Homo-oligomer: A and B are copies of this chain.
Amino acid sequence: MSHFHLDFEPVGRRGQCLADQTLLDAARELGVALTSDCGGQGICGQCRLQVVEGQLSDLTWAEQDLLTAEELAAGYRLACTASPLSDCKLAVPPESLSAPMRIHVAGIDADVELAPAVRPYLVQLQPPTLHAPVADAANLLAQLRAVYGLDVQRCDLGVLRDLSPNLRAWNWRCQAIVRGDEVIAVRPLATDQSSAQDGHSYAVRVAHHAPLGLAVDLGSTSLAGYLVDLETGETLAAQGAMNPQISFGEDIISRVVYAHKHPDGAQQLRQAVLDALNQLAGSLCAEAGAGRNDILDAVIVGNTAMHHLLLGLPTRQLTSAPFTPTVDQSLDLYARSVGLDLAEAAALHILPNIAGFVGADHVAMLLATEPEWQGRTAIALDVGTNTEISLALPDGRLSSVSCASGPAFEGYHIKDGTRARPGAVERVRIDGDAVIIGTIGDAPAAGICGSGILDAVAQLRLADVLNEAGRMALDGHPRLRERNGDREFVLVEAPADGSGRGVSISQHDVREIQLAKASIQTGIELLLAEHGVALDAVERFIIAGAFGAYIDVPNAVAIGMFPDLPAERFRQVGNAAGAGAKLAVLSTAMRQHAQALRSRITYLELATHPRFARSFAYGCRLSKVER
């Protein structure tokens, strides 16, 4: 067998190839990564290259069909069907090169090499004959092994149930969706109308969306969902929704109590969140112009109680010592087994939990923020009704605590409190007698949300309306008044025409914020003390979560909720749990890494810590925590 010398430019790869070898095979052996969605079957037309010097084998039927007259005239060929007849020099256009895809995840400098659990492959099968009556599934698996070198061993039962009529209807050509060693879906190709007219019909495009992935951060209050293209990594749609479980209890504990006290309580809670998830998936698909059946993989993260309620796991043991989760390892399930209405065989990956009150959402947050904390001494926290805090050490160790910070930052248990919605007071500045407020959307004031309350308390303290113990002065500011026996500070007067309510901060509201911030402050203090880390050694202070993104950090520092670190060490990263879920849906390597991260985390129980009570009492004071 004779050999020829090939020279691929501009990539600069040169070497020998056999005379009967296709250029695609030769390119692969020489390390030239040509794109070929169909694995060299002459279907996709992606592996185009241009002959600069030398002779190739005759034009094939596929090339005449898939290349334009202009391309043919310019010497373009398909590498998968052309073989050299002499030494050749070949030009590879940039679009024919498959570079590893790197994508960027919102907010942080985390990027990920696309490695989804689910991948599509184009296949063209030989129909069975009386002399070779191969079973349809065996035919499909053999072709996937032969063309793509996949270790596929089986087809999902749902695939088998339609496979035989589908393959016959689709002229033995299809897109097979593969996860691990299993074909989980088989879909038709669109025939290219223009080429179908000349008598040969070549499928060059897929009739529907690329396989899509769904990533959801399932919070106690709200859901954040992302729809991603698993072939490009692109985020096609992102939406939020309320968690309807709120109508059963505003916080985790009250929902778990509901689940115990009502015969079908757990099932009601589960169905409520499933309905919301399915609706969110439908709504994301509508935004992206896709269908539910295009969603072939999903990752959901949430705190441990949300996680257990969603999966139908028991929750009673979560709420009494020692607060044990049923399961903390990551789970690989079928989405249908949980009740999600996606593609028939869609997968569902659940990231690992850490403890009864530190869940998969915290692992996802750590996953997404790793570029910020890796190799450093760092604090990463997600403020909410429950605040989870992790300390990262430069040697790779991680330690986590959970603080019951209460719902004050969500606007609950606050006299005029509200969730972050148009009209909510979100910024407060007190400058002498002047009180300047900002509302969401600049709408007329209608209540105050977490960041506004935090601002108000800090500004009142800085204006000496509150003393260090949080006690409100009796007078000394024109906005102070007493109402129903409780002192309050008026932020917005009620309109004189009676068209709305005013907004004020009561002494009771201040107490709620003191308890909430003391809880977080204590968590940080004990976590650092447990590992002998001085406050000043903290190189990064990462504030995750939707609420965290709106916190005015200097105000939070002023009341001691966050330590008094230099401003440049703080990072407000937004919904990093959602970003972590997205990383996991885009990359199986990220899933393995999340499980590895989980196994590096030690959990520190605060409730029984000998210094907890003292630290908490001290933490109620409204004053800076000095370095």
Please give the residue numbers on chain A whose beta carbons come within 8 Å of chain B beta carbons, in ascending order.
Answer: 128-131, 133-138, 154-155, 157, 160-165, 168, 311-314, 316-317, 321-329, 331, 333, 337-338, 353, 355-356, 603, 605, 607-608
Contact = CB atoms under 8 A, between A and B. Distances in A.
A321 B130 contact: yes
B324 A134 contact: yes
A66 B329 CA distance: 37
A18 to B, nearest CB: 32
A325 B605 contact: no
B135 A324 contact: yes
B161 A314 contact: yes
A508 to B, nearest CB: 32
14 contacts: A129-B322, A130-B322, A130-B323, A130-B605, A130-B607, A131-B605, A133-B356, A135-B324, A157-B333, A157-B337, A160-B327, A162-B314, A164-B314, A164-B324
Contacts of A329: 135, 137-138, 154
B326 A137 contact: yes
A403 B136 CA distance: 23
Given A133-B603, A135-B324, 5 more contacts: A133-B605, A154-B329, A157-B311, A164-B316, A165-B317
Contacts of A155: 327
Nearest to A337: B157
Given A356-B133, A605-B130, A326 B157 contact: no
- Please state the number of chain copies in the assembly: 2
Contact of A328 (B137, B314, B325, B331): B137
A128 B322 contact: yes
A603 B160 CA distance: 22
B136 A317 contact: yes
Contacts of A603: 133
B128 A324 contact: yes
A259 to B, nearest CB: 12
Contact of A325 (B135, B322, B356): B135
B133 A324 contact: yes
A325 B154 contact: no
Contacts of A162: 314
A568 to B, nearest CB: 37
A160 B322 contact: no
A586 B130 CA distance: 36
For the complex of A and B, the 4 pairs showing the least CB-CB separation, nearest first, are: A135-B328, A137-B327, A133-B322, A135-B325
Nearest to A166: B314
Given A155-B327, A331-B154, A312 B161 contact: yes
Contacts of A325: 135-136
Contacts of A333: 157
A553 B136 CA distance: 39
Given A164-B324, A324-B135, A130 B331 contact: no
A135 B129 CA distance: 55
A410 B551 CA distance: 82
Contacts of A607: 130
A130 B323 CA distance: 8
B160 A313 contact: yes
B168 A317 contact: yes
Nearest to A304: B135
A513 to B, nearest CB: 29
Contact of A138 (B130, B157, B328): B328
A355 B353 CA distance: 48
A608 B130 contact: yes
Nearest to A317: B164
A136 B331 contact: no
Contact of A326 (B135, B321, B328, B355): B135
A128 B326 CA distance: 11
A64 to B, nearest CB: 32
Contacts of A133: 322-324, 355-356, 603, 605
Contacts of A154: 329, 331
A519 to B, nearest CB: 18
